[in-house]
Structure 1
Amino acid sequence: MANNTTMRAMAIRAHGGVDQLNLEEWPVPQASDGQALVEIKACGLNYMDVFVIRGMPDMPTTMPRIPGGDIAGIVRAVGAGVSDKWLGKRVVLFPRFPTGGVLGENGNGGLCEYIAVDGRQLIEIPDNVSFEDAAALPIAYGTSHRMLFTRGHIKAGEKVLILGASGGVGVSCLQFAKMVGCEVYACTSSEEKGEKLKALGADHIINYVETPEFSRAVWTATGKTGVDVAINFTGGDTWIQTQRSMATGGRILTCGSTAGHLCDIDVRFLWHRETEIIGSRAYVPEDIVACLDYVASGKLKPVVEVRLPLERAAEGVRLLDDRQIFGKVIVTP
């Protein structure tokens, strides 16, 4: 940074492709009342950033906008009402604004060098957790933690099916399921991704490109008994096949619908197999604290596949958009 008044930022000024994301000079924000100024050390990308850049019909974005929702850094200044005990602390930010909305979507995010945030968004990072690992956690791992534990109550010995297992949320679901002793059936689109999922502990790999009727492969692999838990944040045309994959009394967990919001459901499977469908809405601060504690204790190691400097952040978004990424992309300003 050339001086104390300007910073580098990757920002968009119009919706479109990743070429809309450009390096700019921005003023360093000030910590007003109730806020803290954080020097950003790492920012995790998510598929949300693809949506922000492309533009969503039901989610108008105020321009210009700095994307990036997973942010870790050091508190450099505090405004009135925020304890000065935070000064110099290593923090990860809770991505949701107290007034609603998410960092990088409804307000500026972390693809820059400094950010001013509400003091209530600060979460201290344990000493033995790196900035990069902390920035991998909030949105993907926080979402998975709430879905699997708070809402889904997964437990040792259960058979768990994960659709879209090689993305950020999918990988974190696999790690959590293996952490508690589940048998995991992971759906992915390539042999290469399948090998990476096996290395993380997946017990069965189902390639849905080679086997579009993945439910048949699941049914066979489970000895025609089905899975206890299915994780489906894909939506689109995958719901009936997910229902076909279920054991009697099983639970389908969902936290999104990346392939489409309107899904067909076969009600016969719903009542005949006594299936529960459980929705999970994002995360709360306690989920992120739990994830940090898992990393600090050595139970969890976030999967960070790509690390990029700030000026190359568009490459990371392109990897996400092309479904070429396994785990997380981290940008370091």
Structure 2
Amino acid sequence: MRAVLTMAHGDRSNLKLVEDFPDPVPAEDEVVVRVAATALNYHDIFTRRGMPGIRLELPVIVGSDIAGEIVETGSAVTGWSVGDRVLIDPVYRDGKRSGMIGETAHGGRAELVSAPASQLIRVPDAVSLEDAASLPLGYGTAYRMMITRGQIAAGEKVLILGASGGVGVACVQLAKLYGAEVVACASSQSKIERLRQLGADHVIDYSKQAILDGIREIYGKPRTNGDGGVDVAINFTGGDTWVETQKCVKKHGRIITCGATAGYEMMTDARYLWTYEHHMLGSNGWSPADLEALLALIESGRLKPVIDKVFPLEEIDEAERLLEDREVFGKVIMRP
């Protein structure tokens, strides 16, 4: 089969398209899926570059967001048939293996992929396989952070840092879907316009204005009497944005994170934590139930994933470049 291999840690020159990679053979509890679409994620970039403390066997076929049709089933598989349309939950949850498909095992940048039947989620007929493939790492992470953990409610004021990427766009969509008032942060005019089109009520261009100054202009400075600021701040940037985020959140407000793309060592100003009685929530990935809820939202017509570009395997270098250079709004999809 055709596949893109990450041959070694480093830059994009370590990506290699091969025409004759061995087809996967399913174990008794696995299926083989013909890949219709796989989404790119910044996690793929981290895997190629190498992540501190994580050792991977290379080469590996990355790509963790995968949707397609079953073409073969293992001898012990029940409840699934050849031709079934499926989304693969890439995380190994049974305790037998660690990591996830597309990281510690071959993933979706190929014509075929094997996966445990226990990790399959049925895709409704009304949902395209490209939309399904956009879900786990981006929309699944956002749904768990915003809805399952954060319990965003109608009428709340929600600040979203990094709003133009895969997770950020999903956060904006979900916050609006659940009736929140959204302040989205981005750093280019084109992304700002697209966030407005997506429904953001306010947009802050952080290349021109400090986020804190923008929040004070819109809602006023948070006060100990409960006035001013936002109810919820979504910050998966980390680094030196954490204290500024604290200063934007009103009394009894929530600060929610699912990562720290700008650095894990984040200074917290304890004065704001206790004075404003903030709640800090962590959210890690997604659950199968989160993915099923998202598929139901798409099926009902309430949610449409934002897919920026679709590439063939031959253009993997350009697809990853767009991610690395932050030129993407929403999701990038690969079609084998």
- TM-score bucket of the superposed structures, by smaller chain: over 0.9
Residue identity opposite 1:14 in structure 2? A
Are 2:87 and 1:71 aligned?
no
Q: TM-score, normalised by structure 2?
A: 0.95
Please name the residue that 1:92 is paired with. 87
1:102 and 2:97 correspond: no
Give the unaligned 5+ runs of structure 1.
Answer: 1-6
Give 2:22's aligned residue.
27
Q: Deviations over 1:170-207 (max 9, x none)?
A: 00000000001100000111111000000000011101
How much does 1:166 deviate? 0.2
Give % identity. 48
CA distance in 2, matches of 1:158, 1:140: 22
SS at 1:27's partner residue? Answer: coil
The total of aligned residue pairs comes to: 326
Amino acid at match of 1:16: G
In 2, the alpha carbon distance for the partners of 1:20 and 1:125 equals 33
> Could you tell me how far 1:86 is from its partner in structure 2?
2.8
Displacement of 1:258 after TM fit?
0.6
Q: Deviations over 1:275-323 (max 9, x none)?
A: 1000001101000010011000000000000100111122111111111
Secondary structure of the corresponding residue to residue 106 of structure 1: coil
1:119 to 117, 120, 131: 117
When structure 1 is superposed on structure 2, of 163-172 and 76-85 the one drifting more is: 76-85
Residues 78, 84 of structure 1: 8 Å contact kept: no
Which residue, out of 211, 227, 230, partners 2:230?
Answer: 227
Q: How does 1:23-172 map to 2 (within 5 A)?
A: 23-24=17-18, 25-83=20-78, 85-98=80-93, 99-172=97-170
- Does residue 333 of structure 2 align to residue 330 of structure 1? yes
Q: Which residue of 2 aligns with 1:192?
A: 190
Query: Aligned partners of 1:253 and 1:217: how far apart in 2?
Result: 20
2:3 paired with 1:9: yes
Question: CA shift at 1:100, angstroms?
Answer: 2.5
Q: State the Cα distance separating 1:58 from its structure 2 match.
A: 1.5
What is the identity, as a one-letter code, of the residue corresponding to 1:254? T
**1:223 positional shift:** 3.1
Please name the residue that 2:179 is paired with: 181
Deviations 1:65-92 (A, max 9, x none): 1111100000011112211633210001
What's the secondary structure of 1:237's corresponding residue?
A: helix
CA–CA separation in structure 1 for the residues paired with 2:50 and 2:269:
32
- CA RMSD, 1 decimal: 0.9
Unmatched runs of 5 consecutive residues or more in structure 2: 222-227
Letter of the 1:188 partner, please give it.
A
